[in-house]
């Protein structure tokens, strides 16, 4: 028969789970998502979230409250008489009244191996820390930050050159399938929950623009992890001396290589840059206002002087 579900999500990452639940035969009685945001070149057009657009295409009621703290919003939520709420990257805090506003509770699809990387940016932080694996977890939400008991887990390998964008897509698909399994178990009354460990807790704080600049004094592996953990968005960047002035360049892909020179030195051979120890080869970059390009294409139009030092 399927469950009566409220779906709560905002970015493209969440859309796959919404689609999967609909395909599995669940009745999505309403979708909650972040309000439309300014977009476009001038930022004047209000653009609905990816989840908003998909829900409308599916003919599902969409609600976009700025907050769920008011009694009015909480009553409206309870009046849906849902069996459960499914939450995937929604972006708003859920008060206790919302967490308890359905018959069976709220279940979150979180992109890490909890309790590691609780919080806002688990995909990026796992790569930036050099983790070799991560995963998707389905947990029943409580009032803490990603502290609820875990129902299901699926582990995912983080390959040495995998970017945050590639890992995002893998976890998106894994998470959608895992949530369908969890809701089937919940409907059958066999979903088992286990408390999270008190050991190994880390927090995946939101990415700050100030930390996106590449620090060449760090070891090459750390620089590489920094680059791929921020690719494609917001993107790690550096300044290069081009045409007699420093120009900001976003770095989207790289690989670790063997070389030794003062940190920041351009070593030729493409875009090989010395780090605190070792070096990285920048394989895909993007100048301001231009499309992403291979290092070879970039160097056709951007002349670096031999031995140039990147600050």
Binding residues for (6S)-5,6,7,8-tetrahydrofolate, by number, are 112-115
If DSSP codes are grouped into helix, strand and coil, which group holds residue 282?
Answer: strand
If DSSP codes are grouped into helix, strand and coil, which group holds residue 224?
Answer: helix
Question: Where does 268-308 have alpha helices with state H?
Answer: 295-301
From the list 281, 244, 275, 247, the residue with the least C-alpha distance to 262 is: 275
Task: Please enumerate, by residue number, every residue annotated as part of a binding site.
Answer: 112-115
Give the integer Cα–Cα distance in Å for 47 and 218: 40
Question: CB–CB of 206/50 below 8 Å?
Answer: no
Beta strands, E only, the chain: 4-9, 27-32, 37-39, 45-47, 62-63, 84-88, 106-110, 118-119, 133-140, 150-157, 203-204, 236-242, 245-257, 272-274, 279-287, 293-294
Give the integer Cα–Cα distance in Å for 25 and 34: 25
Question: CB–CB of 171/156 below 8 Å?
Answer: yes
Number of H helices, E strands in the chain: 8, 16
Per-residue b or e along 67-100, where b marks 16 or more CB atoms closer than 10 Å to that residue's CB: ebeeeebbeebeebebbbbbbbbbebebbebbbe
From the list 311, 223, 221, 309, the residue with the least C-alpha distance to 267 is: 309
Give the integer Cα–Cα distance in Å for 282 and 231: 13
Give the number of C-alpha atoms closer than 13 A to the C-alpha of residue 8, restricted to the C-beta side: 24
């Amino acid at each position: 028969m399927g469950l009566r579900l409220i779906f709560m999500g905002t970015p493209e990452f969440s859309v796959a789970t919404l689609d999967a639940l609909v395909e599995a035969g669940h009745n999505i009685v309403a979708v909650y998502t972040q309000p439309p945001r300014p977009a476009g070149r001038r930022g004047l057009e209000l653009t609905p979230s990816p989840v908003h657009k998909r829900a409308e295409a599916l003919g599902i009621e969409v609600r976009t409250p700025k907050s769920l703290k008011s009694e009015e919003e909480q009553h409206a939520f309870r009046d849906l008489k849902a069996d459960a709420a499914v939450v995937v990257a929604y972006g708003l805090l859920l008060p206790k009244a919302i967490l308890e506003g359905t018959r069976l509770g709220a279940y979150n699809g979180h992109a890490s191996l909890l309790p590691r990387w609780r919080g806002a940016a688990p995909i990026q932080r796992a790569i930036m820390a050099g983790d070799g694996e991560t995963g998707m977890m389905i947990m029943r939400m409580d009032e803490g930050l990603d502290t609820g008991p875990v129902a299901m887990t699926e582990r995912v390998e983080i390959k040495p050159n995998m970017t945050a964008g590639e890992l995002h897509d893998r976890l998106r698909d894994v998470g959608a399938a895992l949530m369908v399994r969890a809701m089937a178990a919940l409907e059958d009354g066999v979903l088992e929950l286990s408390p999270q460990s008190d050991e190994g807790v880390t927090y995946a704080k939101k990415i700050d623009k100030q930390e996106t600049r590449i620090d060449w004094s760090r070891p090459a592996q750390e620089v590489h992890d920094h680059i791929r953990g921020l690719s494609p968005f917001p993107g790690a960047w550096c300044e290069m001396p081009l045409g007699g002035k420093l120009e900001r360049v976003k770095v989207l892909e790289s690989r670790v290589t063997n070389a030794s020179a003062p940190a920041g030195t351009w070593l030729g051979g493409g875009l090989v840059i010395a780090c605190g120890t070792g070096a990285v080869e920048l394989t895909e970059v993007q100048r301001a206002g231009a499309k992403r390009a291979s290092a070879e294409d970039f160097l056709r139009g951007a002349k670096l002087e031999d031995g140039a030092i990147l600050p």
